[in-house]
Each structure stands twice: as structure tokens, then as C-alpha cells.
Amino acid sequence: MSAQNSSSITPAAASDLFAPYSMGSLPLANRIVMAPLTRSRALPGDVPGPLTVTYYTQRASAGLIISEASQISPQGKGYIQTPGIYSAEQIAGWKQVTEAVHAKGGKMVVQLWHVGRISHPALQEGGTLPVAPSAVTPKGWVFTGAGKEDMVTPRALALGELPGIVADYRRAAQNAKAAGFDGVEIHSANGYLLDQFLRDKTNLRNDRYGGSIENRARLLLEVIDAVLEVWEKDRVGVRLSPISAVNDIDDSNPEPLFTYAVQELAKRDIGFLHIVEGMTGGPRIPGKPSDFDLDKLRRIFPNTYIANNGYTREMAIEARASNRADLIAFGKDFISNPDLVERLRRNAPLNALDVATLYGGDAHGYTDYPFLEARS
């Protein structure tokens, strides 16, 4: 995994991308965010281990680290070896991570996650069906201990179960405090449970959580309100992917839906909004035409706006020059470049990504990517 060759290294452009920034009461060393990145290297019990400590500590120069998605309950799990934030052992594992990141001067929030229907009985306690707003079968497969398996038709959550989901988020937010995180991000993107409730392709309910935009946004807002009982508002954020179809998600009219959702988040004065622009991990312009101007969300939301998806150094600098976003999130580049901030600052070459080691495995492709300069 050697660095790509470059004939010269040029100094960073004069940009406040590399300058300190205050996200509410949280001071950040720069405006570069490490995006949440599933790596599937948790220990038995879905506990973050010593390798995870090393991995995040190596990347502590990011202005803000958003942890890999962490399930709020056993029911919220959809992938093997992903960490949780619901058991004492998981809290202890994450505490070692946050202490190490803080010792390096970094800041870190945890992404709270429930996958909903994007799971399989093999990953659920007792082999039960995954849950969702409605019994709509997702297209695709998941990787279980037995290999690739098609996703199944989920069980629709009963009305009486939804307060328990909200309580799981509240408890996870409390656990995040105990683990030493600087805040939390609510994962409401990429076709997972809260996104499933938002979208009319997956939410066919006829109760107070289905039908109208206001009803479909209700669970997300109840979760936010519960988390705000635990954390100061400037330490809470939400991730949305308004025009991404990943995990077989879609909506017939996303602009009024996500405009309403962001307006409600703005009323609650939460600390940050994290928007996946375009298809998650793919094209910034979706495959089908869309007149949804995502910059509208930036105008609606008064606090820190994080832009995400396929950003290069040049795009990030331009986004700051035009004030189109406050912070810029980088994903895969942070996997293969633990010192990405310094590489961007110098316009230095980036290490090539070893795709074969993205999910699962050991230190190879996880903590052994080289730095620009050897570390003692």
C-alpha cells in the first residue's frame, strides 16, 4: 500500500478548511471531518478492541471524527462484527477509543444506528425477523457468518413498540456520554430504520407514523427529542441522504419531505446536519433526474452543515470559499490515509485504497497504511 507517485508537493491553498472552527461549544482543530465508515472489525460481543483504538487514534488529526455506525440494540444490527453502544463491555471498549483520541487532541462523536429491515434472521437474537415500518422486502443481500444471504421480508413494527425504539436511542445516547464521546450523530440516512420511516417506498403505515410527511417524520423527531434530554443541543447531529437510493430506498417526492424534516431539526436548534449529497458512495448526481436543490437545506439549517460524498481537496476548498458548507466529510480517503489532513494541507499524494480489506480482517488494510513521515 505505497503512496501514489507525485512529481511535487505544493503548499496548501489559503483556505480556512485547515483553520480551527467552533461547532457550538465544541472546538475543532480544522473543518475536515472523518465520515462514519463501517469496517467490521469489532470483537465478539460487538465490542471495539485494541485495533479500533489504534485506528481512530491514527486519524485524530481530523477536526471531527464521526465513529462508524454503532447499533443501539441487538435488534439494530445488520452486519457482522459491527460495534454496539448498548452493553457495558461495548461502553468500556469505546471509552478506550475516546480517551486515546482525546489524548491526541481529537474530537469524536458516535453515530447511533438501527438498520431496520437491512438485516437477516441470522444476525438477530433468536433468529427473529428484522423490523421495519412496513413489511416491504428489500432487494439485495447481507453478509452473515454463512456468507451472502438474500434479505428477507421484515416484520412491521407494532405501534406499541415504537416507544421502545425511542427509549433505545435515549439509552444509547446516555451510553455515549459514559463512553466519553463529545456528542452523537443520529443515523437517519442510507435506507436504515429512521430513513425507512421517512420514505414512502418503505413506509406504508396508516397510523400516526405513516401517510403524511409530518407522520413519517414523527419517529425521527421523537428520537431527536429523546436524545436532547441527554445531550446539550449543540452536541447532537443528524445524518440524512435525501436523494440516495442505497439499500433499496426511495421516495416519490423527496424535496418537501426533507425540507420539512430539516425545518423541524432547525427548530430544535441541534448542533449539526450531515448531508450525503447524491448517491451514497456513488455519483453526486443521482441516476434519475431530480430538481431537488440540496443547497436549500443549507439555507434552512442555521447551525453547522457538513457536506459529504466524493469530495476532493479542490472541491472542499471551493465549498468553503463559497460558504456552501461549514465542514467537509471525507470517507474512503481517511481509510487509506491516517494523516489525511496533513496530506490535504500539503497537496501531497494519497495512498491507494486496498478495497479487499475494507470489511473484516485484521490490522492489514486497517492500521498499517503509511504516514507521510515515519512515526517514532
Task: Tell me the per-residue pLDDT of 129-174, one tens digit each, with 9 for 90 and over.
Answer: 999 999 999 999 998 888 889 999 999 999 999 999 999 999 999 9
pLDDT of residue 292: 82
pLDDT of residue 6: 39
With bands split at pLDDT 50, 70 and 90, how would you rate the model's confidence at 24? very high
User: What positions carry a catalytic annotation?
Assistant: 192
pLDDT(219) > 50: yes
Residue 1: its H or E element: none
pLDDT of residue 88: 98
**More reliable by pLDDT, 266 or 7:** 266
Beta strand segments in the chain, E: 21-23, 26-28, 32-34, 64-71, 108-113, 131-132, 141-144, 147-150, 155-156, 184-187, 236-240, 272-276, 304-308, 327-330
pLDDT of residue 376: 42
Q: What percent of the chain has pLDDT over 90?
A: 88
pLDDT of residue 375: 56
Q: Summarize pLDDT for 164-205 with one digit per residue, the tens.
A: 999 999 999 999 999 999 999 999 999 999 999 999 999 999
Q: Summarize pLDDT for 307-323 with one digit per residue, the tens.
A: 999 999 999 999 999 99
With bands split at pLDDT 50, 70 and 90, how would you rate the model's confidence at 347? very high
Q: Where are the domains of the chain?
A: 16-336
pLDDT(4) > 60: no
Mean pLDDT in residue range 257-277:
97
pLDDT(16) > 70: yes
pLDDT(3) > 60: no
With bands split at pLDDT 50, 70 and 90, how would you rate the model's confidence at 1? very low
Mean pLDDT in residue range 67-94:
98
Mean pLDDT of the chain: 93
**More reliable by pLDDT, 291 or 150:** 150
Mean pLDDT in residue range 42-46:
97
Q: Which residue from 266, 261, 186, 169 is spatially nearest to 217, judged by alpha carbons?
A: 261
pLDDT(59) > 80: yes
pLDDT of residue 373: 82
- Residue 184, all three cell numbers: 452523537
With bands split at pLDDT 50, 70 and 90, how would you rate the model's confidence at 372? very high
With bands split at pLDDT 50, 70 and 90, how would you rate the model's confidence at 13? low
Q: What are phi and psi of 51, to 5 degrees?
A: -65, -35
Measured between alpha carbons, how far is 71 from 110 in angstroms, rounded to an integer?
10
- Fold that domain 16-336 belongs to in CATH: TIM Barrel (3.20.20)
